Chains A and B, each alone.
Chain A
Amino acid sequence: MDLVKALESLSPVERSVLPYIKDGMELRAIARDAKLQEIEVMRAIQWLENKGMIKVSSSTKDVIVAGVNGKLYMKTGLPEKRFLEALSGKMSIDGIKKATKLDDNEIRICLGLLKARYAISILGNAIEPTSERDRILKEGFAEEAFLRSLPKNFDELTENEKMLFARLAKRRNIVMKETTKLRFVELTELGKKLAAGSKKIKMDLIETLTPQMLKGKTWSGKKFRRYDIKTGVPKINPGKRQPYSEFLQDVRERLVSLGFEEMHGPVIETEFFNFDALYQPQNHPARDWSATYRIKEPKYGDLPEKSIVSSVKKAHEKGIGGSSGWGYKWDSKTAARLMPRAHDTAISPRFLAKGVKIPGKYFSLVRCFRPDVIDATHGVEFSQLGGFVIDKDLTFRHLLGLLKQFVFEITGIEYVRFSPDYFPFTEPSVQIAAKHPKLGWMELAGAGIFRPELTLPMGVKEPVIAWGFGIDRLAMLKLGIKDIRDIFSNDIEFLRKAEKVF
């Protein structure tokens, strides 16, 4: 590595640490010498190691370090020293307190210590220095020197140091024995060159480009510190779409681009639109209490205009347009019962009755509700994509063509298979399966031509191709989700990490 380039890539903290590194030095010692925070030095030696300038080896050791008070006393001096310094003649305890700013506890300790060393004599409330005072002050306090020499390996303490440690350890938060990870640093060849170079070459590198520099053009002629652009950065969590919601949005837009107009219907439906208008007889097992949700209160809604209702009634009872009908007594009260929409097809007769464009293509993508027991394949709610295509000359072949196009547009799969299927509201009915390259045949959609018993009461004479997709299964496939409950994930971490799908 080019020496200059290497030097330019050093961050300010690395540059300030490097000259203090001597072989075999411990991190804390470097911090002490360089007058930096340990955490800064730690970061710097990590970066330097990444750049191959130093080698770091570590071991755990019992280390004597300064505690909170110890760190404080390193700056201010030990209380007994300050006490003794302040005591130039006979003084009251309050007077000493004022002069030294020591607290009661510290004063009490000082009194004990200094008395033991014959440095003071106590006369009631007054304190007087002895002749020892000046000598002790001149000699200095060995404890203080020890404190300043920390951190030290416990194993390497001399007998004398051990005694000093024991003395200080009796007092609160001055010294502590810590089992610490020690990081010993050694310069590599490159590091040695750089350390030498960093002293010789004067570096005047721009760290942060500021508006002032730009205004004053002071950047001109200077070099910028090189960044380690390969280093990782902290992750951020900005705004993002929910993957399933985005998938549904994409599907909607795909449908719009294919010329489909979106339909919408109420979440709470009447059984009329959910079942009766779709020619599902009222005694059908699918309409049982156990197969559909009901609403507690209110129980009934309104039926549409009379002509539609009487026409549906006729379709069920006697048949319409050449049909023999189901042949039972149709009950309008049952039809008015409210229920959460159980399938998207409930929306189609509403739109057909309202009047649609011919030719016309319509779709809906809505939440549906069924009393399934919730497991990995049955969610609390599910989405259905469905709709219809209407024109005067549509045939079953068009229906197959439409399905094939859908499957290709939505899944990209070209290889499909049709099979006969059954839906109460379509005849003929078909199911389409697509061959997934990995998963094999997958049933994707059902479709058919709406029965005349459905379309005639809605005032529609043209053939209507109806189709519907199990869109949640496709979503799971696309999003790589195994459990259907995860499409409504309530884990923010999952959503933050979720990757975009295309």
Chain B
Amino acid sequence: MPTIEISLKDLSRLVRKKLSVSALATALQYVKGEIESSEGDRLKIEIADSNRPDLWSTEGIARELRSRYGNEKSLAKFKTKKSGLKVIVEKNLRNIRPRTVCAVVRGLKIDDEILFQMIQLQEKICENFGRRRKEVALGIYDYNRISPPIYFRAYGPGEIKFVPLDFNVEMSLKDILAEHPKGKEYAHLLAGMKKYPVFIDSMDHVLSMPPVINSDFSGKVTKDTRDVFIECSGFSMKFLLPALNIMVAALADRGGRVETVDVVFPDGKMQTPDFTPGKILVNPDRARNISGLHVTDADIAKLLMKARYDVKNEHGKLAVLIPSYRQDVMHEVDVIEDMIISHGYNNIGPITPSLASTGKLTPVNNFVKKITELMIGLGNQEVLSYTLTNKDNMIKKMNIESMKIIEIDNPVSKNWSVFRTWITPSLIEFMSNNTNKEYPQRVFEIGEVVIYDAKAETRSKNPVMLALACAGSDANFTLAKQQLDFVLRTIGIEYVVEETEHCSFITGRVGIVYANGREIACLGEIHPKVLSNFGIEQPVCTFEMNLSEILSLIEKK
């Protein structure tokens, strides 16, 4: 979700209507935008659609709003003429960064706001839409400092030098990647390559080393720049063409004159930018069925023209022409949404669907509901902890040597880095936070745990466990067993308790509970060593029961 900064005055100028903050707040629904904050004339706007980079600038928003205020409709028109400039793409870029599309825009009158928007749009295109410059690196240059033609070719790391933007020393490509801040930031995109991509002109002046940095010589745009050369480099035309068109359209909306560039690839030629609209067929019946709106074909066309499409009737279907700066329309449903947005979401009468259906909880949640009642009835306080915990609390402090666990590879915090395999440690940890509170303390939790299972589809299973912990002078094995016995007796489970050894518990006071030969619970008195690890000075007894397992026993009966 990109957030962009705009000037309300600037936007009003481009929309050709004076907008107030509140009027804009309403109008922003047409661009899925929301005012995040405002300070005088400057507004921060969040655009929800991460697939509409054409809306990530004042120019793009204004283009969309102009049709809503009746100034324009249908496709935005962009005039182009030939610049005669050639960009020659060489073969040695093949496995490095093989594609580029380019444009020239002349006659710009750049002020502070236009410059700000230009840079912001460039950044947003590269970072968000261009996947942090991997798919799209977009460069803007002072055209008058370039000597055509321009070559896009690969150079060895030490083969060529240039002064990077805002620097005053010449650096080799290798040095830039190793030492320049932008070089270091984007070096991973060129990692493992023997040569690096470079735009260079016929006088051997380097324009830039995409996707890393422009040269200081020609890759610098200021308020005095009148004519610019723009290139987008990457791998796929699906990304490059719309990216170029978005930037060029924005500059054209500022009064720039667009000129095309001949891009010559080893395997063919292209003339860019190309504003030929895309086309998709929309079945008007489907538009009516999805929207639920009673609209004629003509109504649909009208609504779509407000959304800056052009519409023609083609054998009973609507041939919808898509602005060339949009790449998000993959299916007719994308167009249909724009039709509904044009109609206005709040102008559609909602209908409450009346479907005959029976609601129910999952069997285990239904079971959990009943078990919770029993545990409350036994006088226990329900608590809730996280599914994530850490090795220290779940294993080390519990006096356990090792345990098969599922761990997060990239945790935000070590405290929350492994999935719990049992809930008891969470309850003991809970008690460690409450040592100065009134005893006795009796707490229970019901929740999922994550157990490794090599055979499972996701290599894990999530049984629902019930754990109880009692602390206080009366907390002993008998208390835990009484509570366990009450629960199992009440749900009709016959069980036996077998002796076992477990490092978290006092030897001779810990047991495993079996029903129908299956392990369903464990219980015991927590070992004083564990209590001291957690700083608890009251005896603690616990049980932990596998409710999923017990439910399957009940279902079999």
Contact = CB atoms under 8 A, between A and B. Distances in A.
Interface of A: 237-242, 244-246, 249, 252-253, 255-264, 266-270, 283, 285-286, 289-290, 293-298, 300-302, 304, 319, 321-328, 338, 340, 357, 359-361, 367, 369, 371-374, 380-381, 389, 391, 393-398, 400-405, 417-422, 424, 427-431, 449, 451-453, 463, 465, 487-488, 490-493, 495-496
Interface in B294-352: 330-334, 336-337, 340-341, 345-346, 348-352
Interface stretch (B100-108, B147-155, B269-277, B372-380): B372-380
B419 A267 contact: yes
A369 B413 CA distance: 13
12 contacts: A261-B358, A266-B456, A268-B450, A294-B408, A298-B459, A301-B456, A328-B236, A374-B412, A381-B387, A396-B348, A422-B52, A490-B385
Given A285-B132, A293-B408, A422-B49, A238 B379 contact: yes
A340 B49 CA distance: 25
B128 interface: yes
Interface in B116-131: 128, 131
Given A283-B131, A294-B409, 19 more contacts: A241-B372, A242-B383, A244-B384, A249-B369, A256-B361, A267-B419, A296-B407, A296-B408, A297-B406, A298-B452, A301-B456, A338-B458, A338-B459, A400-B348, A419-B32, A420-B30, A428-B340, A487-B384, A492-B437
Contacts of B336: 427-428
Contact of B458 (A301, A367, A374): A301
A240 B375 CA distance: 9
A495 B431 CA distance: 13
A266 B454 CA distance: 14
B412 A373 contact: yes
A422 B430 contact: no
B331 A371 contact: no
Interface stretch (B170-178, B284-292, B493-501): B284-292
Nearest to B344: A418
Contact of B377 (A239, A374, A491): A239
Interface string B433-451: 1100110011100001010
A429 B234 CA distance: 31
B407 A401 contact: no
A428 B359 contact: no
Given A296-B409, A420-B341, A420-B345, A361 B359 contact: yes
B459 A360 contact: no
A427 B50 CA distance: 14
A293 B362 contact: no
Contacts of A249: 369, 372
B351 A398 contact: yes
B238 interface: yes
7 closest A-B pairs by beta carbon, nearest first, are A395-B292, A397-B292, A428-B337, A400-B350, A256-B359, A401-B350, A418-B345
A369 B388 contact: yes
B51 interface: yes
B32 A422 contact: yes
Given A240-B381, A295-B409, A493-B437, A397 B348 contact: yes
Contacts of A451: 331, 333
B410 interface: yes
A293 B409 contact: yes
Contact of A267 (B351, B359, B360, B460): B460
A259 B355 contact: yes
Contacts of A367: 387, 448
Contacts of A420: 29-30, 32, 48, 337, 341, 345
Contacts of A428: 290-291, 333, 336-337, 340-341
A476 to B, nearest CB: 14
A11 to B, nearest CB: 27
Contacts of A495: 381-383
Nearest to B130: A285
B331 A488 contact: no
B268 interface: no
B409 A269 contact: no
Interface of B is mostly: loop
Given A340-B408, A396-B290, A396-B292, A381 B381 contact: no
B365 interface: yes
B357 A380 contact: no
Given A241-B382, A396-B292, A427-B334, A252 B361 contact: yes
Contact of B410 (A293, A391, A402): A293
Given A239-B380, A296-B407, A491-B434, A321 B359 contact: no
Contact of B386 (A240, A242, A380, A452): A380
A127 B476 CA distance: 58
A496 B381 contact: yes
Contacts of B441: 492
Contact of A239 (B381, B408, B454): B381
Nearest to B377: A239
A488 B385 contact: yes
Contacts of B456: 266, 301
A401 to B, nearest CB: 4
Nearest to B432: A490
B142 interface: no
B366 to A, nearest CB: 9
Given A285-B131, A367-B448, A371-B412, A381 B386 contact: yes
Given A397-B348, A397-B351, A359 B356 contact: yes
Contacts of A324: 330-331
A321 B331 contact: yes
Contact of A295 (B333, B351, B408): B408
B517 interface: no
B479 to A, nearest CB: 14
Contacts of B227: none
A430 B345 contact: yes
Contact of A421 (B48, B361, B376, B450): B48
A389 B135 CA distance: 37
Contact of B331 (A323, A373, A404, A463): A323
A304 to B, nearest CB: 8
A344 to B, nearest CB: 14
Contacts of A300: 459
Given A266-B458, A296-B409, A371-B410, A427 B433 contact: no
B351 A381 contact: no
B514 interface: no
Nearest to A421: B48
Nearest to A490: B433
A380 B389 CA distance: 10
Nearest to B332: A322
A372 B408 CA distance: 14
B407 A264 contact: no
Given A241-B372, A296-B407, A422-B32, A492 B434 contact: yes
Interface in B72-106: none
Contacts of B400: none
B331 A240 contact: no
B259 to A, nearest CB: 29
A263 B362 contact: yes
Contacts of A403: 350
Interface string B237-260: 010000000000000000000000
A285 B124 CA distance: 13
Given A267-B450, A289-B410, A295-B406, A401 B351 contact: yes
A427 B289 CA distance: 13
Given A396-B292, A420-B337, A404 B350 contact: yes
A15 B424 CA distance: 52
A452 B283 CA distance: 15
Given A419-B29, A495-B381, A267 B459 contact: no
